[in-house]
Structure 1
């Protein structure tokens, strides 16, 4: 019941989503399903959802700044960041709050206009560093309980796309996209 009330209040107060300037995301468990696959040579491989990628491109075209902030390493995250033209790809970060604060200062974005999408205890440490803390459906219980919103989709399976659509709806940009579709204008 508490989650439903939180979610209802989040929908009712859409202005925090509309006012966002920076969306920061964990990678493993958010952009991926959290599984780590290794090939025969020991190289790490990760699966990313293509619809999440388009959601991020839509947000970029609307002027939202995006960043990956991950404790993990391995190369796949950096490749995905380059594919999506994510300018801020911070990997191997063991203490996330100082890294996020440095990024916010670098970009001139306030805590109130920053959202973080994370799935585990190390992401919960960012609670006081952002205006909105958001969790995918399958995030760990402590994070879900303290999040401002819990999405309906699990990490790596459309959670990022769901959030992107909610942000675009709050900004009034979704209806035109839904009606006319989207074209990559490379601008």
Structure 2
């Protein structure tokens, strides 16, 4: 089991708003199934799985990275498709086939050297709760399990695989006052 990460930024009070929490995110971590995808798993006769990803979500991740926010994936399944998508998006912190997401989370924090208060996490089901409880900014897609929604600081209007990731990326960029500058650049201003 990983050691406790170094303390940097102190934890926020329980009364902190979602925007206050998002303003401190230096690392945004995502689950895959039900977050980056709609949660459906398509199996071929050979036992291979296929997943569908939303391009808006991918661009949101790239925008976070463009302002210096690191991104990561922690997922319980092992998939070459996820590895390919992570490479395409420039996500270098990829933890697949993880049975205990908390161990992977603590290892990641230690590797990067930041506190859990500076992390955001988007998950949709019970295996995500252990990490969500520790993050400064716990988020969930609209169609997450009710227990996850109840414990999230912020819930997207979109469903997993249908823009929820992009929504949380936009929320972080707005909270950190970077959204308008990126929009202006996209408009050629």
TM range (shorter): 0.7 to 0.9
Of 48, 52, 65, 1:43 maps to: 48
Q: Whole-Å Cα distance in 1 between the matches of residues 187 and 20 of structure 2?
A: 24
Per-residue deviation at 1:146? 1.1
Per-residue deviation at 1:167? 0.7
Partner SS state of residue 72, structure 1 = coil
Q: Whole-Å Cα distance in 2 between the matches of residues 26 and 12 of structure 1?
A: 23
Is residue 80 from structure 1 mapped to residue 60 from structure 2 by the alignment?
no
Closer/same/farther in 2, CA of residues 131 and 12 from structure 1, 3 Å limit = closer
Q: Quick check: 53-62 or 73-82, which moved more?
A: 73-82
Q: Whole-Å Cα distance in 1 between the matches of residues 17 and 148 of structure 2?
A: 22
Of 15, 26, 43, 1:21 maps to: 26
Q: Whole-Å Cα distance in 1 between the matches of residues 129 and 53 of structure 2?
A: 23
Q: Whole-Å Cα distance in 2 between the matches of residues 173 and 133 of structure 1?
A: 20
2:18 and 2:137 in contact (8 A); partners too: no
Tell me, which stretches of 5 or more residues in structure 1 are unaligned? 1-8
Q: Whole-Å Cα distance in 2 between the matches of residues 172 and 132 of structure 1?
A: 17
Partner SS state of residue 68, structure 1 = strand
Is residue 97 from structure 1 mapped to residue 102 from structure 2 by the alignment?
yes
Q: How many residues align?
A: 175
Per-residue CA distance 1:103-160 (angstroms, 9 max, x = gap): 0011001010011100000001223321121110000011101111111111000000
Per-residue deviation at 1:42? 2.7
1:117 and 1:134 in contact (8 A); partners too: yes
TM-score by length of 1: 0.88
Q: Whole-Å Cα distance in 2 between the matches of residues 89 and 106 of structure 1?
A: 12
Tell me, which stretches of 5 or more residues in structure 2 are unaligned? 1-13
Q: Whole-Å Cα distance in 2 between the matches of residues 98 and 41 of structure 1?
A: 32
Which 4+ runs in 1 deviate beyond 3 A?
A: 9-13
* Residue of structure 2 in register with 1:149 after alignment: 154
Closer/same/farther in 2, CA of residues 118 and 10 from structure 1, 3 Å limit = farther
Per-residue CA distance 1:32-59 (angstroms, 9 max, x = gap): 0000112343321100000000000000
* Residue of structure 2 in register with 1:6 after alignment: none
Per-residue CA distance 1:71-110 (angstroms, 9 max, x = gap): 0112111010010110011000000011101100110010
